[in-house]
Amino acid sequence: MQIHGLIHQFPREIKLLILTFIGVLSIGFYGGISFVNTTTTMHPNEVETHYLGNESDENAEIMKFKKSKNEILTIVHNHILSLSVIFFMLALMLATTSLPLGLKYFLMLEPFLSVLFTFGGIYFLWLGITWMKYLIIFSGILMTFTFVVSTLSICYQLLFIKK
């Protein structure tokens, strides 16, 4: 069965459903990014402080404590499960686009690696492997980049390409 380019043949109501889903999904995703920016300022040392605390810093403006094992496991578990479903749904939609195959495969598969590296990195950071903060930031940026490119590509394919 050929699905490459099938998105262009979807009925209007399916296209509208996909556009609405991507719109609402993007609000949630960017809301999460805003939360990350607020809690960590997306700076390596702040990422470390967010998970490991800053109890030893007497000059800290805001006191933060190391996350408990239950907290860290909940964060990692919830994010890996939910983001896997989100990126699976996007990958299904991307599979039907007429994007070049290399780009399509990258956008479909890379987010799963970024999810593992980002949230696995958070767990290992919590265990005390502090250089993981750089992997967390890099993979988080890459995951966000692929989300943006994927959603914009799907919307562009739905709205502007007629076949």
Tens of pLDDT, residues 52-84: 998 888 888 888 899 999 999 999 999 999 999
pTM value?
0.94
Tens of pLDDT, residues 92-151: 999 999 999 999 999 999 999 999 999 999 999 999 999 999 999 999 999 999 999 999
Instruction: Give residue limits of the domains in the chain.
Output: 6-160
16, HSE (Cβ side, Cα atoms, 13 Å): 3
Say if CB 122 and CB 136 are below 8 A apart.
Answer: yes
